[in-house]
Amino acid sequence: MKNKFYRNTAILGAIAFVAVFVPTLLIKLDVINAYTAQIITLGGINAIMALSVNIVCGITGQLSLGQAGFEAIGAYSVILLTQNLGIPLPVSMVLAALIAAFFGFLIGFPTLKLEGDYLAIVTLAFGEIIRVVLVNQKGITGGPNGKQFPTILSTDFVWGPALSYLVIVGVLVAIIILLQNFIRSTYGRAILAVREDEIAANSNGVSVFRYKMVGFVVASFVGGIGGALYAPFIGFIKPDLASFNNSINDLIFVVLGGMGSVTGSVLAAFVLTYLQEFLRFLQNYRLLFYPVILILVMLFRPQGLLGMKELSFIRSIELVQHIKRVRAMQREKAGAKQANETEGAAEK
Amino acid sequence: MNGISIFVQQLINGLSLGSIYALIALGYTMVYGIVKLINFAHGDVMMVGAYAGYFVLCAVGTTPFGMTLAFLAAMVMCGLLSLVIERLAYRPLRNAPRLNSLITAIAVELILQNVMRVLPFVGPDPRQFPTMPTKMLSIGIVSFSNIQLIVIVLSAVLMVVLNYIVNYTKTGKAMRAVSYDLGAASLMGISVNRIIAITFVIGSVLAGAGGVLYATAYPQIDPVMGYIPGLKAFVAAVLGGIGSIPGAMMGGVILGIAETMTKAYVSSQYADAISYMILIVILLVKPTGILGKKTHVKV
Amino acid sequence: MSDEKKLILQASDVSIVFGGLRAVSDFNMNLHQGELVGLIGPNGAGKTTVFNMLSGVYTPTSGEITFWDRHGKVHVVNKKSPAALNKIGIARTFQNIRLFGNLTVADNVRIAMHAQRKVSPFDVLFRTPRFFRDELMMTLRVESLLSLFNMKKKGDALAKNLPYGEQRKLEIARALAAKPTLLLLDEPAAGMNPQETKELMESIAAIRKQFKVTILLIEHDMKLVMGICERLFVLDYGRIIAQGTPQEVVSNPQVIKAYLGEDAAV
């Protein structure tokens, strides 16, 4: 039993390692060009935002329409902390995420105590409030025209793309690992219980309000990380980052990938980021593409691609091994049968 | 003009704006009361109404006849539109988890906005809404424009009509029954599908009128114009007590006045943000809203 | 049997009013450690409402409910949340089964053990040895609880896929996982056939013995009620109309009138 555990950990570790380091190398060696590199890296950021939405909507079961607000808070915070306060970039990234989590706590606290769909509206209003504040505080935020943030990730032609991918996808993988660890634990079960049946969860010792807060604040933290990575990578941000449209984009990743499925959200984020580039020729019609798909999914496959299941590398590998074993056994049987027949024939 | 008359002026401005919010908020509150759905697309139905009015007025001119026609066109257009939306997008999901319906409502909103953007005769650029010549009327220290008068009076008339329908007709009684208990109402022989459709239509008809009124007061229209008033109208509905019709009326007026006062005396740029903050404060203090009632969950 | 006189729950003049309706009035009940007591009455009498007040779902409008936990400490139940009451030792099942349908049978039971966890978020995020020890302990306890109900092999099934009778049993197993001293069972035998009911009676008796838990149950199945309850409270229109041993209660004319109408009491 323990051997299986070590084996599984080793497999997943190897896959994570490959996913992070191999493309980094390929980008550095220019096997993957800078344009493609940017798309995949952007996909990584979208995946992080998708996870942020997934934690609130899929895992905790609440609808939030303002996760982009936390992304914006993270993005602007990291710029202000680094440029105005001189804090080193890695530290300000973490601080920025904590600031986003703090805001999550602030708006979650009054709202999650209520029953009903209030969180959806409050988060929608929250995103709007953030956007308005960002637009109007021109001194700090640069107003509606946005703010520049040149960093090694966005300006360095030699190391920029590879380093960006490494950092962003590295953080993504770390988040995935920690998230899965959290979900597959008593804490994760408690949050899932809240999603399934609040009254039953409450009556069985799980404080519904507390765990809704945990889910929401963690989601805000992850959203903040997304923004804190976005700003240095792109090198430029606008208050539009907090807009409703942006929040909807993130929501779409989760709806398509499957509410509650970590691998689903990540996959959908990468696929749709690529598709978005691909569909540029549709221009204004592109904006119709997303909502139409949303409705079709809601009507015909509401659980999205993977529903609540996860794409399991372990199980895929085990499946392959199983098939190999079955084939080997069949070959043995066929071989034995042939041997018997030749023996029988020889005896005759 | 002294301080008092400015204050009264702003009060009237607020009342006028608030009446429009009230008209839109009514649609939100009625739909939420009956199927527990936050109809995100409602603000954009209002936008469609504004455009319908626009095309009529461009063709016919801003005569009283033209204006009447514009209102009728907007109301009919919005009513039909919401029938289609309810039938195609909301009804199939009535028994699905709430999350799914909410997401669908958002999708409908985006489709409405973006269809208008790509339609060749509409397009994404803002257009000037034809307005009638403004005439100022004065009573004592107060002066208001004929437009404001029309907005306030027309809104009031529509709300009185709505009140009559809901409280004094059989259909209204059925609507109330369905909002209390859908299952029991259907067992009593009420055609739930029909009543829900009627509720959507009434709400959208009001939103259509609201759209024309809004465009008359703020004469620039574009495909995304419905988003912000829609959001504010929802805040108004929550403020008054979501599910409560008098609440929506009250909430709309209060919000309109609060927003106008904020713009005049506090800050024009942050007025919107402050309106949204009101939402959060209400949820903290009295989540069921001013006129809302607390319902007990039976375990 | 005589040292079970220790009081663990006391309801004094408890009433609750919903809107204009007095759902329960002047409810008085004393429960002693280890007792098996039944709460019966016609439909709509307010039995589940009493449960909801005892378990924190509703707050009484007047009166006080007092609970003595496993350490003898006194608690006032009014206004406490169900989660808080679960932690101090009150667990319940529901009239309309409330399982976590999309979770496995084993996870349903594990969730009730959450309050007894010995791990911190750090342990969980970084998979320390303490995490594995805690998970193992939980798994072993889950298995032993499920075995009590002959459901050990069903650990990985989704709760929503279980047959009805086993869903009811799972709810009881889940309630027990919280190590309660007071177990409230709301119509545990509803929908069961006579054979299942008989097994349930045996299970309940065994549970009481093994876990030393006080049980208050709501039931309509008179065979079960008469078979295992030591005492009965009869509720009608929110008031207690009779209490005592099953034999006393069953021949009480008020009780007969409440169930069968005026004529039957004669």
pLDDT tens sequence across B129-172: 888 777 888 777 677 888 888 888 888 898 889 989 988 998 88
Across the interface, which of C18, C48, C94 has its CB nearest the CB of B296?
C18
User: From chain C, which residues contact B within 8 Å (Cβ)?
Assistant: 18, 48, 52, 57, 94
A294–B104 C-beta distance less than 8 A? yes
Q: What is the CA angle B44-B31-A209, rounded to 5?
A: 100
**Cβ-contact B25, B190 below 8 angstroms:** no
Phi, psi of B136 (to 5 degrees): -95, 135
A114–B270 C-beta distance less than 8 A? no
**Cβ-contact A273, A94 below 8 angstroms:** no
For C233-251, what is the mean pLDDT? 91
For B236-263, what is the mean pLDDT? 90
Sign of CA dihedral B175, B179, B184, B187: positive
**Cβ-contact C171, C93 below 8 angstroms:** yes
Q: What does pLDDT average to over chain C?
A: 90
d(CA C64, CA C14): 6
Which residues does chain C have within 8 Å of residue A6's beta carbon, measured at their own beta carbons?
none
pLDDT for C160 beyond 90? yes
Report the DSSP beta bridge partners of residue B29.
none
Distance of residue A210 Cα from the nearest chain C Cα, in angstroms: 11
Which regions in chain A score pLDDT beneath 70? 1-2, 116, 283-284, 344-348
pLDDT, position A173: 93
Which of the pair, B64 or A171, is modelled with greater confidence? A171
C215: left (phi over 0), alpha (psi -120 to 50) or beta: beta
pLDDT for B174 beyond 80? yes
Give the other-Cβ count within 10 Å of C113's Cβ.
22
Which residues does chain C have within 8 Å of residue A189's beta carbon, measured at their own beta carbons?
103, 107, 110-111, 114
d(CA A166, CA C40): 67
Across the interface, which of A63, A124, A128 has its CB nearest the CB of B99?
A63
d(CA B44, CA B295): 31
A298–B102 C-beta distance less than 8 A? no
Chains in contact with C, where contact means 3 or more Cβ–Cβ distances below 8 Å, are A, B
Distance of residue C263 Cα from the nearest chain A Cα, in angstroms: 42
A284–B117 C-beta distance less than 8 A? yes
For C163-192, what is the mean pLDDT? 93
Residues 270-299 of B with CB under 8 A from C: 296, 299
pLDDT, position C1: 44
C98–A200 C-beta distance less than 8 A? yes
Give the residue carrying structure tokens 């960002």: A134
pLDDT, position B199: 93
SS3 C7: strand
The CA-atom distances, in angstroms, between B112 and each of B29, B115, B218, B220, B278 are 21, 5, 21, 18, 28
In A, minimum Cα distance to C86 occurs at: A205
d(CA B160, CA B166): 10
Exposed, middle or buried, C218 (CB in 10 Å: 0-12/13-18/19+)? Answer: buried
pLDDT, position A139: 78
**Cβ-contact C39, C47 below 8 angstroms:** yes
**Cβ-contact B43, B231 below 8 angstroms:** yes
**Sheet with strand C62-68: strands edge to edge:** C21-32, C7-18, C62-68, C74-76
H or E element at residue A19: helix A2-28
d(CA B219, CA B62): 13
Give the residue carrying structure tokens 């990985």: C156
B296–C57 C-beta distance less than 8 A? no
**Cβ-contact C185, C217 below 8 angstroms:** yes
SS3 C128: coil
- Joined together, the tokens standing for residue C68 give 């003595």
- Joined together, the tokens standing for residue A145 give 């025209």
pTM of the model: 0.86
Please list, residue by residue across A175-207, b when 16 or more beta carbons sit within 10 angstroms of its beta carbon and e when fewer do: bbbebebbbebbbbbbbbbbbbbbebbbbbbbb
pLDDT, position C4: 52
* Displacement of CA B5 from its chain's centroid (Å): 29
C18–B299 C-beta distance less than 8 A? no
Chain A with chain C: Cβ pairs closer than 8 A: 97
The CA-atom distances, in angstroms, between A174 and each of A17, A45, A170, A171, C9 are 11, 13, 6, 5, 49
In A, minimum Cα distance to C115 occurs at: A205
Which of the pair, C81 or A344, is modelled with greater confidence? C81
Contacts of B93 by beta carbon, 8 Å cutoff, 6+ apart:
A298, A299, B100, B101, B104
Q: Is B224 on the interface with A (CB under 8 A)?
A: no
B118–A121 C-beta distance less than 8 A? no
Chains in contact with A, where contact means 3 or more Cβ–Cβ distances below 8 Å, are B, C
Which residues does chain A have within 8 Å of residue B243's beta carbon, measured at their own beta carbons?
none
Domains and CATH numbers, chain B: 17-285 (1.10.3470)
- Joined together, the tokens standing for residue A282 give 């549709």
For B65-82, what is the mean pLDDT? 92
Q: What does pLDDT average to over chain B?
A: 87
d(CA A207, CA A212): 9
Q: Is A202 on the interface with C (CB under 8 A)?
A: yes
d(CA A249, CA A269): 9
C57–B299 C-beta distance less than 8 A? yes
Across the interface, which of A129, A244, A294 has its CB nearest the CB of B273?
A129
pLDDT, position A347: 63
Which residues does chain B have within 8 Å of residue C52's beta carbon, measured at their own beta carbons?
299
The CA-atom distances, in angstroms, between A22 and each of A17, A162, A171, B266, C109 are 8, 10, 15, 56, 43
Distance of residue A6 Cα from the nearest chain C Cα, in angstroms: 13
Report the DSSP beta bridge partners of residue B221.
B127
The CA-atom distances, in angstroms, between B202 and each of B158, B171, B252 are 11, 12, 17
A192–C138 C-beta distance less than 8 A? no
pLDDT for B32 beyond 80? yes
Distance of residue A201 Cα from the nearest chain C Cα, in angstroms: 8
Interface probe for C, chosen from A2, A196, A203, A310 (most Cβ of C below 10 Å), is A203
Name the DSSP letter for residue A117: S
In B, minimum Cα distance to C95 occurs at: B299
d(CA B80, CA B78): 5
Which residues does chain C have within 8 Å of residue B296's beta carbon, measured at their own beta carbons?
18
Q: Of the given ranges (A16-30, C152-166, C214-228), which has the lowest mean pLDDT?
A: A16-30
User: From chain C, which residues contact A within 8 Å (Cβ)?
Assistant: 55-57, 81-84, 86-87, 91-92, 94, 98-103, 107, 110-115, 117, 119, 121, 124-127, 131, 134-135, 138, 174-175, 178
pLDDT, position B122: 81
Which residues does chain C have within 8 Å of residue A207's beta carbon, measured at their own beta carbons?
81, 83-84
B100–A248 C-beta distance less than 8 A? no
d(CA A46, CA A249): 9
A125–B231 C-beta distance less than 8 A? yes
Across the interface, which of C81, C98, C127 has its CB nearest the CB of A207?
C81
Q: Which residue from A57, A54, A82, A53 is spatially nearest to A68, judged by alpha carbons?
A: A53
pLDDT for B126 beyond 80? yes
In C, minimum Cα distance to B293 occurs at: C19
Distance of residue A263 Cα from the nearest chain C Cα, in angstroms: 18
**Cβ-contact A96, A224 below 8 angstroms:** yes
B115–A288 C-beta distance less than 8 A? yes
Question: ipTM of this model?
Answer: 0.89
Which residues does chain A have within 8 Å of residue B280's beta carbon, measured at their own beta carbons?
107, 110-111, 122, 125-126
What's C58's domain CATH number? 3.40.50.300
Chains in contact with B, where contact means 3 or more Cβ–Cβ distances below 8 Å, are A, C
Q: Which domain holds residue C216?
A: 2-265
Q: How many domains does chain C have?
A: 1
Which residues does chain A have within 8 Å of residue B238's beta carbon, measured at their own beta carbons?
118, 121
Give the other-Cβ count within 10 Å of A215's Cβ.
29
Interface probe for A, chosen from B122, B242, B283 (most Cβ of A below 10 Å), is B283
Which residues does chain A have within 8 Å of residue B103's beta carbon, measured at their own beta carbons?
63, 251, 255, 294, 298
Q: Is A186 on the interface with C (CB under 8 A)?
A: yes
Percent of chain C whose pLDDT exceeds 90: 69
Distance of residue C115 Cα from the nearest chain A Cα, in angstroms: 6
Which residues does chain C have within 8 Å of residue B97's beta carbon, measured at their own beta carbons?
none
At B53, which amino acid appears?
G
In A, minimum Cα distance to C178 occurs at: A204
